[in-house]
A and B are shown apart, each in its own frame.
Chain A
Amino acid sequence: MIFGDKKTGVIVTGATGNQGAFHIALMNEYAKSVGGSGVVAGVTPGKAGQEVHGVPVYNSIRDAMKEHDAGASVLFVPAFAAGDSIMESASAGLSLVVAITEHIPVHDTMKAISYAKMNDCDVIGPNCPGLLSPGEIKMGIMPVQLFKRGHIGVISRSGTLTYEIVDELTRAGLGQSTVVGIGGDPVIGQTFTDVLARFSEDRETKAVVIIGEVGGALEEEGAKSAEIPIVAYIAGISAPPEKRMGHAGAIIEGGEGDARSKIDRLKAMGVPVASRPSEVPRLIHNLI
């Protein structure tokens, strides 16, 4: 497993908000079905003493950690407070923060990631669906019914597109070891490179699908570093330059980061690239 397993206790920040409360229930439903620890505590400043779906709420992450054994936090706090919440998690001694929140100002993200790094805390996201290791642990918002335990790792900058491709994999009999949504923002904590390094040391994982999109060069950097077989799909071949395609990070700037040149560079490195999501399972079968 990478990032966590059944024993990992999770703290949800922004626990009393709509999204936080809704996903506490879903994460714990999943934890119950696999016999995992699930969400052990929630945090919302000023709401200590409340309960959300049976989960106790504390004023701070430090307070929660005095009472519970936790290894990670999942963030549902509003954008303006999210950078702060990442730093609070790192400061309290958690080694992993999964930041679901969208629309965080990029300067806040950059500062929070720097601070987290100084405290040996990894950040997944922001603007991501979190991660799921089928049969082990869910930290985030992924719809579990599409997933099946197996040996394919998935790393993606997107949410629903990940579900589409996971669905294709599952239908083709290719289960997943861990699926990680690394986020659609220009600056993100864990990159393809970071997660690929973990997958290459994970005994459960035999091959990895990387799902990228226009903007930046993280896909190519990841592929260059990969020590495990990979297959890629890149979205945005029809995206016009200088237009933000939904994700803050999905933009072709200064003539760089377009899908065509990404695909060409990946192919030049010997990486099989799917032209459609439905092609991914066949490319994986060719590899293993």
Chain B
Amino acid sequence: MKILEHEAKKVLEESGITIPQSVLIRSPDELATHLGSLPDKLVLKAQVDVGGRGKAGGILMAEKANAMVTAKDLFSREIKNIPVKEVLVEERLDIVHEYYLSIAVDRSTKHVLILFADAGGVEIEKVAKENPDAVRRASLPLIMHDVPQFMVRDLLGIAPKELGPVINQLYHVFQKKDALLAEINPLVTTPKGVVAADAKLIVDDNALKRQGITVNRDLSEREREAERFGFSYVELDGTIGVIGNGAGLTMSTLDLIEYYGGRAANFLDVGGGAEQERVMNAVRLVASVPSVKAIVVNLLGGITRCDEVAKGIISAGVTQPVIVRLAGTNEAEGRGLLAEKGYQMPDTMEQVVKAAVEMTR
């Protein structure tokens, strides 16, 4: 789950990293009570979780004198269709130089990857492409308590030594917060010292509970409902609802729909042990999306009980046609139940998908 900028900055501050002086406001009026304690030059940042926030008009400069007007302007905006509900009002930093620092999980090495670049404030992928020498990297196993000093020296290169401590401080944030990514971009030097001008933190969804996070904000309403049932669910933009067991098989069903010229409306992985109630909830959830015109159920597995699946599909009682591919134990029984009610049951995954695509054309 992505952590919003102001929350991420608070986490950095707790670990000893300097952040800009700031207040978080939920309305322009709230700013009035804080103005006295703020410096003259300000920057107002919408707390919305979108990439390219600055370009989309989510960051505005202001002087203390016109800050109220600017705040009203920002609160009236939508940034990439997301309304602005919170604004972080920060001191505008006197920047000497911008750097880039990130710590992430590296799938290839199974270790932690630390990236440091002499150029900050821009996309790191771009820097890596245009000026590969400006990006330095270090890999270390997560079982290490600290980043060794030689790695800190290697990462910094000719950058000022005063940046060094931030690397370990951010590594400790990464460890403590079960992070998949901890990023400061830009990390800036100012006449007053080193400051994290922006911050990004992504927490492992599988660790939310022990991090004390109860609601995964990255999920939509329907995705959250699916999560309560124990389903993996993703919304897409087509007309065919897709239910499968196992992420790979379900993804492959989506791909096959595209291969035959259709488009899936969603992806629902019902998981293992698909008994009647689970299947019923899955079918109803997928059918509740208004754009769904037909539903494909693709269930394969030795331990899936086909009679349970069939009962689940029938008891869901949805209006859209449901086309079923079933393989597993009690297959004949399951097929019998569905046949009685007139369901289409092709033998293979390809036939099921073809039938659904034709139906939605």
Contact = CB atoms under 8 A, between A and B. Distances in A.
Contact of B349 (A188, A237, A277): A277
B143 A246 contact: no
The residue in A115, A142, A244 that gathers the most chain B C-beta atoms within 10 A of its C-beta is A244
B107 interface: yes
Given A104-B206, A184-B248, A277-B252, A216 B107 contact: yes
A209 interface: no
Contacts of A167: 300, 327
Contacts of B250: 245-246
Interface residues of B, number: 49
A161 B178 CA distance: 30
Contacts of B248: 156-162, 184, 211, 213, 235, 246-247
B232 A164 contact: no
Nearest to A103: B206
A217 B210 contact: no
B241 to A, nearest CB: 14
A254 B185 CA distance: 15
A169 interface: no
Interface string A166-178: 0100000000000
A124 interface: no
B240 to A, nearest CB: 11
Interface string A235-247: 1111110011111
Contact of A107 (B175, B252, B303): B175
A276 B246 contact: no
A248 B258 contact: no
A249 B247 CA distance: 10
Nearest to B175: A107
B110 A110 contact: yes
Given A105-B204, A106-B206, A250 B107 contact: no
Given A156-B248, A246-B247, A248-B205, A163 B301 contact: yes
A244 B178 CA distance: 18
Contacts of B269: 246
Contact of B142 (A107, A247, A250): A107
B246 A160 contact: yes
Contacts of A92: none
A276 B178 contact: no
The residue in B107, B207, B328 that gathers the most chain A C-beta atoms within 10 A of its C-beta is B107
A218 B107 contact: yes
B219 to A, nearest CB: 10
B105 A239 contact: no
B95 interface: no
B105 A186 contact: yes
A239 B255 CA distance: 8
Q: Which DSSP category, helix, strand, loop or mixed, fits chain A's interface? A: loop
A239 B249 contact: no
Contacts of B143: 111, 114-115
A197 to B, nearest CB: 15
Interface string B301-328: 1110000000000000000000000011
A229 to B, nearest CB: 23
A275 to B, nearest CB: 7
Nearest to A168: B348
B206 A110 contact: no
B259 A160 contact: no
A282 to B, nearest CB: 14
A115 B141 CA distance: 10
Nearest to B125: A254
A105 B178 contact: yes
Contact of A275 (B210, B232, B234, B259): B259
Interface in B330-360: 348-350
Contacts of B244: 160
B24 to A, nearest CB: 26
A256 B79 CA distance: 25
A248 B180 CA distance: 11
Nearest to A123: B110
B257 interface: yes
A160 B245 contact: yes
A176 B116 CA distance: 46
A187 interface: yes
Nearest to A234: B255
B111 interface: yes
Interface stretch (A52-60, A66-74, A143-151): A143-151
A217 B107 contact: yes
B266 to A, nearest CB: 11
A115 to B, nearest CB: 7
A158 B255 CA distance: 15
A153 B10 CA distance: 50
B107 A164 contact: no
Interface string B178-195: 101000000000000000
Nearest to A18: B273
Interface in A166-208: 167, 184, 186-189
B251 interface: yes
Contacts of B125: 254-255
Given A239-B254, A244-B205, 15 more contacts: A106-B204, A106-B206, A160-B244, A160-B246, A187-B107, A188-B110, A211-B248, A218-B107, A236-B254, A236-B255, A238-B258, A244-B232, A246-B234, A255-B125, A278-B348
Interface of B: 105, 107-108, 110-112, 125, 141-143, 175, 178, 180, 204-207, 210, 232, 234, 236, 244-252, 254-259, 263-264, 267, 269, 300-303, 327-328, 348-350
- Which 9 residue pairs spanning A and B have beta carbons closest together? A143-B302, A158-B248, A246-B247, A160-B246, A161-B248, A246-B232, A105-B207, A160-B249, A246-B269
18 contacts: A104-B206, A105-B178, A105-B210, A106-B105, A107-B175, A110-B141, A114-B141, A142-B302, A156-B248, A161-B246, A161-B248, A187-B110, A213-B251, A218-B108, A243-B234, A244-B232, A245-B234, A247-B247
